[in-house]
Amino acid sequence: MRRLIRFRRLDRPCPIIDGVRIERWEVTFSERRLFAYLDGAMAEVDMPARPWWVRWWRRVFPVRFETREVGSMKVYKVELLIVDHDGIGMQEVCDVIENESYPNYCIAPRVMAIEARDVVFTDDHPLNSRNTSRAEFQRLFRCTSND
């Protein structure tokens, strides 16, 4: 017997007829197809319970996660210069860097510190040139960067 998964998209308004809210539910038979149908949209999902024998098996033989040493890894400190053309703000820049889904979680960046300077940015601004951007960065933030 196939499991029936009901879902209602949250981006579609429910019409109200004679004071009664009419909800439009859709169905699918697998989580993979559910994700394909939704394509990133939010939805209210009604998932059926697992069969009794699956619930029994998981209670009798619970999944145990082992903690093991992964091995040595490297930690890098990277200084980035980000020009905020759209004015999204410091917090949003941090969120974009930290919450980007990198393949296979190969890196997990965290913003440890952030500073801002106001500049009038034009096409001929020193930050807009590969030859002068390092010197302008050092002038703005009064620091020395490694090559």
In this structure, the answer to whether residues 29 and 75 fall within a common structural domain is no
- Specify which residues 45 forms β-bridges with: 7
Q: Tokens 């499991």 map to which residue? A: 3
The total domain count for the chain is: 2
Residue 2 binned pLDDT confidence (cut-offs 50, 70, 90)? low
Q: What is the pLDDT of residue 7?
A: 84
In this structure, the answer to whether residues 91 and 145 fall within a common structural domain is yes
In this structure, the answer to whether residues 72 and 50 fall within a common structural domain is no
In this structure, the answer to whether residues 122 and 83 fall within a common structural domain is yes
Domain end residue (candidates: 42, 60, 78): 60
In this structure, the answer to whether residues 71 and 142 fall within a common structural domain is yes
pLDDT digits (tens, 9 = 90+) for 104-117: 667 778 888 888 88
In this structure, the answer to whether residues 78 and 130 fall within a common structural domain is yes
Q: What share of the chain is helix, strand, coil (3-state, %, to 5)?
A: 30, 10, 60
Domain end residue (candidates: 60, 80, 99): 60
Q: What is the pLDDT of residue 131?
A: 92
In this structure, the answer to whether residues 70 and 110 fall within a common structural domain is yes
pTM of model > 0.75: no
Q: What is the pLDDT of residue 50?
A: 76
Q: What is the pLDDT of residue 121?
A: 80
Q: What is the pLDDT of residue 68?
A: 60
Mean pLDDT of 87-96: 85
Q: Identify which has the larger pLDDT, 138 or 55.
A: 138
Between CA 118 and CA 128, with CA 123 as vertex, the angle to 5 degrees is: 65
pLDDT digits (tens, 9 = 90+) for 114-126: 888 888 888 888 8
CB-based contacts of 69, cutoff 8 Å, min separation 6: none
In this structure, the answer to whether residues 45 and 102 fall within a common structural domain is no
Q: Tokens 């807009």 map to which residue? A: 128
DSSP string, 98-127: HH---GGG-----------------TT-GG
In this structure, the answer to whether residues 111 and 45 fall within a common structural domain is no
pLDDT digits (tens, 9 = 90+) for 61-75: 887 766 666 666 677
pLDDT digits (tens, 9 = 90+) for 21-60: 888 888 888 888 888 888 888 888 888 777 788 888 888 8
Give φ, ψ of 33 to 5 degrees: -70, -35
In this structure, the answer to whether residues 71 and 122 fall within a common structural domain is yes
Mean pLDDT of 82-100: 84
Instruction: Provide the residue range defining the domain that includes 81.
Output: 66-147
In this structure, the answer to whether residues 44 and 115 fall within a common structural domain is no
Burial profile 71-96: b = 16 or more Cβ within 10 angstroms, e = fewer: eeeeeeeeeeeeeeeeeeeeeebeee
Structure tokens at 78: 């990277």
pLDDT digits (tens, 9 = 90+) for 79-90: 888 888 888 888
In this structure, the answer to whether residues 84 and 111 fall within a common structural domain is yes
Give φ, ψ of 99 to 5 degrees: -100, 5
